[in-house]
Structure formats: structure tokens, C-alpha cells
Amino acid sequence: MDDESARLLGLIDDYIAHLSRFEGASSETVRAYTQHLEAYARWAARAGRDGLAPSTRDVRAYLSELRAAGYAARTVAAHLSSIRSFFRWLSDEGLAGADPVTAIASPKLDRPLPHVLAPDQLARLMDAPDLASAGGKRDAAMLELFIATGARISELAALDLADVDVSRASVRLFGKGSKERLVPLYDRACSVCARYLEEGRGELLGRGAASSREASFFISDRGRPMSASSLRHRFDALKRRAGIPADITPHAMRHTFATELLIGGADLRSVQELLGHASLSTTQIYTHLTPDRLKSAVHQAHPRA
């Protein structure tokens, strides 16, 4: 490996560390950026290009090679986004000159409509936990918090006891970039969470050794704090028990939460705040799932309707 390639890889490592430590990027984001940037570094070495000072033509050549290799447009766009973020950081740190990626527009992509659970699917899923067991009470609390808050699975995994306030009917979530938001809970969610705390969590906690994370809200069957992966495993088990299609993920609960709020008459800005979206445009995709509600709003409110 020549010095130029070694320096590029070293700076990529520094940037990935910055993402993780200072920007609060999720493990999935860190993994994706690492893969994208290391692939770019390998290409630069193979093509004999200066990876730290490429021209716009060089970057376009790399993206063209990805397309020629059969990568989907969405994957190519993700690689470009990673490279763009990396060079923005290099510029901010004074480690690079002109940004070669600024002039390259991201490809326009059709945004797929999110998966949403049908009412009967949601009902079956919510009935899947075995409430006679401590683990079942935990599973019920997990599902209820999913559909009551629209939380990401990583946000539920990060919950501590102090974040769920049953007495005040609210839960505190920490989203991307550690941004905090407070989401109200309805009565059923409070009741299910209270039952887990009173009748399930202590039993689960007693099955494991003392832990520095005893404050964790969700405890596994082995008495340990549950990671996002552990919660996903439980969700998948409940999904199979309820006969829910395999392509339904925990994130579908977030989509269902948002869609149901809009159908119920919530305004888009409120849904944006509850979901923790930085941009309203991200939330607007849910309007495509509620055409009947929008038609009704026009007929009721438009002066010429």
C-alpha cells in the first residue's frame, strides 16, 4: 500500500470515529459509511487516482463503475452520499481543498411507499404475547410502545427506566444525533408498561448477574439489557406467531403509527415532531398512504368544494 492510499484510509477511519462519537450515528449508518468509503478507497488505488484530491470527473468515473457493476440506483446514491459527507468533513477540518462532489447531483429516486400493517394484522400481532409469562409481559410492552410512540427500534433499545413515565403518560426518546423528544402515551400503553414493570421486569432481571445497565427498560429472558438486535428477534418471533408476512419489520410499526395519526386527523407538523424527523419532506411520504383522508379534507374545507 502506498503512502497516499494509507493516508486516505487513515482519514476514513478518523471520519468514521467522528460519526460514531460526535454525531451519534447508528451502528447501521457507521457500517454503511465504512463499507462505502473503503470501496471508494480501493477503487482510487486500483484506478491510480488521488482519492483525497479527486476531480469531479474522477468521482463520476467511480459512480459509473458502480453502475456498470450492476449496483442499483439507490445503492449508487448511498455511495455518493457517503463520499459527499466525507469530503464535507475533510473541508471542515481543513484537510482538503475544493469539494469535488458538490457539482454532482444525486440521482432522483422513486421513494417506495412504506409497509403499513392492516388493522387485522396489527390486532393479531398485539395479541401474540403470552401475558402469563414475564417475557410475554415485556413483549407486550415492546409492541405497545412501538405503536404508541412510532419509535425506531434503536430508540426502544436505548430506553432506561427513567425514560418511561407511566404516571405522566409519556416516554422520552433519543433519536438520530441524540435529539430528545417527549411522546405522550395513551392509557392502554401506560397500563401494559405498568404491568410489565410490576409483574415481569423484576423476574427477568433476577435471572441474570448484576449489570451496570440494570436501569435498562427492556430486560431479556436471561436477565440482560436488550439490544436492538434482541428486540428485533422478539418482534420476529411474535410476527411468526401472529402469521404476519415476513417483509413486515419493526419499522412498519413506526409507519403504521404515523399513518394512523394522519387518518385520525393529526396535522403533518405534529406527526413530524412525534417521529423526530428533521425535515417535513420526510414525513410527507405518509400522505400518499391516506388519500381518502386528504380527499375528505378538501371536500370539507375548500370553499369551492
Catalytic, 251? Answer yes
Catalytic, 176? Answer yes
Assess whether the region 3-92 and the region 119-297 belong to the same CATH fold: no
Q: In what order do the strands lie in the sheet with 164-165?
A: 164-165, 170-174, 180-184
pLDDT at 95: 83
Say whether 160 sits in a helix, a strand or coil: strand
Quickly state the pLDDT bin for 281 (edges 50, 70, 90): confident
Catalytic entry in 18, 124, 172, 251:
251
pLDDT at 268: 80
Catalytic entry in 60, 88, 181, 277:
277
Fold of 119-297: hpI Integrase; Chain A (1.10.443)
Is the pLDDT score of 291 beyond 60? Answer: no
pLDDT at 265: 78
181 in Cβ contact with 270 (< 8 Å): no
Rounded CA separation 154/33 (Å): 18
- The Cβ of residue 151 has, within 10 Å, a number of other Cβ atoms equal to 28
Report, as an integer, the average pLDDT of 145-154.
92
Catalytic entry in 60, 176, 207, 241:
176
Higher pLDDT, 288 or 293: 288
Cβ-based neighbours of 96, under 8 Å, separated by 6 or more: 52, 53, 87, 90
| Domain residue limits, the chain | 3-92, 119-297
Cβ-based neighbours of 237, under 8 Å, separated by 6 or more: none
238 in Cβ contact with 119 (< 8 Å): no
pLDDT at 246: 86
Rounded CA separation 96/103 (Å): 16
Quickly state the pLDDT bin for 137 (edges 50, 70, 90): very high
pLDDT at 104: 79
Rounded CA separation 95/122 (Å): 51
pLDDT at 94: 84
User: 0.75 cut: is pTM over it?
Assistant: no
Higher pLDDT, 110 or 8: 8
Lowest-confidence range among 82-91, 190-199, 234-243, 296-305? 296-305
Amino acid at 79: H
Quickly state the pLDDT bin for 91 (edges 50, 70, 90): confident
Fold of 3-92: DNA polymerase; domain 1 (1.10.150)
Is the pLDDT score of 282 beyond 50? Answer: yes
Rounded CA separation 217/172 (Å): 12
Report, as an integer, the average pLDDT of 106-131.
82
pLDDT at 302: 46
193 in Cβ contact with 141 (< 8 Å): yes
Q: Given phi > 0 = left and psi -120 to 50 = alpha, else beta, which region is 227?
A: beta
Q: How many helices (H) and strands (E) does the chain have?
A: 14, 3
- pLDDT tens, position by position, 199-248: 999 999 988 765 545 789 999 999 999 999 999 999 999 999 999 988 88
Report, as an integer, the average pLDDT of 92-98.
79
Quickly state the pLDDT bin for 292 (edges 50, 70, 90): low
Catalytic entry in 36, 152, 224, 239:
152
Say whether 219 sits in a helix, a strand or coil: strand
E-assigned strands of the chain? 164-165, 170-174, 180-184
pLDDT at 11: 93
Catalytic, 286? Answer yes
Catalytic, 254? Answer yes
Percent of the chain with pLDDT over 90: 47
